């Protein structure tokens, strides 16, 4: 039986999962570990603090990975549940928790192991993704899978839509499986390691647009990194400009990639390597978000 759980996580998916676990088994939740990510636009540190205060659970806020081992030794949990964690957990720590580390990975493992599993499928134009409930082991996202759920990625879905779908399915996975897991009666299926794909973490500076890409590729790139993520961006002169909302231009355009060829009250059209894209909402760095037609001029280049 599992009686003492330490939750480890961050971001919105982490706090939603923590709330679900507490709702299912408030007495089993022993402590909470999160990280000091206040510089991240997706930070939910205040919500973790508020949750810990309201539920009267011990909260550890980590500033660096080296602090993690001492906390696990101090709390001595029967199991750890990990959601929205960005630091690798060392083998000796994994082995010191008797019932292991149970995690949520927002992909259909073994696909999209590694970083940014919400963003890469949209960038790649995938039509479906999913959420996996699995056990952590010594390799990256390679442990046995307890359960998975799939969802469709519509052409108009942004990363915000995918987050909502992921959170909903993560909640269902916990509700469906935790009662069995607490009794050590869950089923586990090894992953097919030969089918695994790996993707790297992404940083805000990775969001720069290549205007020589096709309009479809650029559209996918923008919707994969829009709010609440840092955003795809380009430059107008020497000013950095974030692109928040777009669509593929229905008409056929040809020209030099990055050239603004149409300006209206609601959008502007920019030529791509193949086709063109309509930009609706943009934002010059350190300014407010605006309609693209208020920012860009006909005949101007973005780069």
CATH number of the domain bearing residue 116: 3.40.50.170
On whether both 133 and 18 belong to a single domain, the answer is yes
For residue 244, is it within any domain?
Answer: yes
On whether both 145 and 269 belong to a single domain, the answer is no
pLDDT along the chain (303 residues), means of 10: 93 94 95 90 90 95 89 94 90 93 97 96 98 95 97 98 96 96 93 96 95 98 96 97 98 96 96 98 97 96 97
Is the Cβ–Cβ distance between 25 and 178 less than 8 Å? yes
| 3-state SS, residue 177 | helix
On whether both 22 and 101 belong to a single domain, the answer is yes
CA distance 266 to 295: 11
CA distance 57 to 300: 56
For residue 302, is it within any domain?
Answer: no
Residue 40: predicted pLDDT = 83
Burial of 126 (0-12, 13-18, 19+ CB in 10 A): middle
**Total domain count, the chain:** 2
The gap between the terminal CA atoms of the chain, to the nearest Å, is: 58
pTM above 0.85, yes or no: yes
The last residue of one of the domains, among 199, 225, 246, is 199
Residue 88: predicted pLDDT = 85
Helix 45-55 to helix 11-24 angle (10° resolution) is 20
Residue 65: predicted pLDDT = 85
For residue 299, is it within any domain?
Answer: no
CA distance 205 to 232: 9
Q: Dihedrals φ, ψ of 239, to 5°?
A: -100, 135
Residue 167: predicted pLDDT = 95
């Amino acid at each position: 039986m599992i009686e003492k759980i330490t939750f480890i996580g961050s971001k919105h998916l982490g706090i939603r999962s923590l709330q679900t676990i507490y709702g299912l088994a408030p007495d089993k939740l022993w402590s909470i570990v999160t990280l000091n990510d206040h510089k991240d636009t997706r930070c939910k540190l205040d919500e973790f603090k508020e949750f810990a205060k309201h539920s009267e659970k011990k909260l550890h806020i980590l500033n660096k990975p080296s602090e993690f081992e001492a906390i696990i030794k101090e709390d001595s949990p029967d199991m750890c549940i990990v959601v929205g964690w960005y630091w690798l957990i060392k083998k000796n720590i994994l082995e010191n928790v008797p019932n292991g580390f149970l995690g949520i990975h927002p992909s259909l493992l073994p696909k999209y192991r590694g970083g940014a599993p919400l963003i890469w499928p949209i960038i790649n134009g995938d039509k479906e993704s999913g959420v996996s409930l699995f056990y952590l082991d010594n390799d990256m996202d390679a442990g046995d899978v307890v359960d998975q759920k799939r969802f469709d990625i519509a052409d108009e879905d942004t990363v915000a839509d995918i987050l909502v779908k992921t959170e909903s399915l993560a909640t269902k996975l916990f509700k469906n499986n935790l009662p069995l897991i607490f009794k050590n009666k869950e089923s586990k299926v090894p992953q097919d390691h030969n089918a695994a794909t790996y993707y790297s973490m992404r940083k805000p500076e990775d969001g720069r647009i290549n205007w020589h890409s096709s309009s479809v590729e650029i559209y996918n790139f923008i919707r994969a990194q829009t709010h609440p993520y840092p955003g795809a961006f380009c430059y107008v002169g020497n000013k950095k400009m974030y692109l928040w909302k777009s669509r593929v231009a229905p008409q056929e355009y040809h020209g030099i990639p990055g050239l603004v060829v149409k300006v209206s009250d609601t959008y502007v059209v920019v030529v791509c390597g193949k086709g063109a894209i309509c930009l609706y909402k943009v934002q010059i760095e350190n300014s407010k978000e605006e309609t693209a037609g208020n920012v860009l001029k006909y005949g101007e280049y973005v780069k």
